Amino acid sequence: MIKLIKIGNYERGLLFRDGDFVDVLKPGRYVYVDPLFKLRVDVEDVTVPALTAPWLDVIVDSGALKDEAVVVDLADGERALVWIEGRLADVLTPGLYAYWTVMKNVRIERVDAPTVRFESLALAKVLTLPRTAHLLSSSTSTRVRSVCSP
């Protein structure tokens, strides 16, 4: 009936009541009275920046991540470069993403994908990422490669 929850310094808790998202729990101890066993807490490790929780759209829409994470919602014609601690970590395709910012410095750089030329100071690095070949068509990658040639 009484639920005791401890959220560690490197964690955040996603609190659900009766299957609905309620809040993000910061580090600390929490006591809830739950006689019908309707509360659930999913504990997330914030040292791993990508938040891959189910119901991400509902959690983002609640506004509960505003001080805890950076959120990016990419349309069909957009891509994004994810920089974690100043290092290129990922290239994102269209969709909704969230990255915890409480332990790591995360920066998202949006890229307009329909443009003919993809330009970035880190272009050579972008082309080495495993997902890059999947993101660029062969005609686009030829043009992109010519951009990084001296």
> Do 54 and 82 share a domain, yes or no?
yes
> Do 12 and 64 share a domain, yes or no?
yes
> Do 146 and 81 share a domain, yes or no?
no
> Do 73 and 85 share a domain, yes or no?
yes
Return the C-alpha torsion angle 141, 142, 145, 146, nearest 10.
Answer: -140
- Cα atoms found within 13 Å of the Cα of residue 64, Cβ hemisphere only: 17
Residues 6+ apart with CB under 8 A from 150: none
> Do 57 and 92 share a domain, yes or no?
yes
State the Cα–Cα distance between residues 108 and 92, nearest whole angstrom.
10
> Do 130 and 75 share a domain, yes or no?
no
In total, how many domains does the chain have?
Answer: 2
Q: Over 70: is that where the pLDDT of 93 sits?
A: yes
At 44-92, the pLDDT tens digits run 999 999 998 889 999 999 999 998 999 999 998 888 999 999 999 998 9
Q: Domain residues for 123?
A: 115-150
Rg (the chain; Cα; Å) = 19
What pTM was estimated for this model as a whole?
Answer: 0.75
> Do 45 and 119 share a domain, yes or no?
no
